[in-house]
Amino acid sequence: MTTIAWLSDLEPACQQAREHGKLVLLDFFSPV
Residues that bind another protein (CB under 8 A): 1-10, 13-18, 20, 22-31
At residue 16, φ and ψ (nearest 5 deg) are -60, -40
Rounded to a whole number of angstroms, the minimum distance from the CB of residue 1 to another protein is 6
Rounded to a whole number of angstroms, the minimum distance from the CB of residue 32 to another protein is 9
CB of 30 closer than 8 Å to CB of 24: no
The amino acid at residue 17 is: A
Rounded to a whole number of angstroms, the minimum distance from the CB of residue 2 to another protein is 4
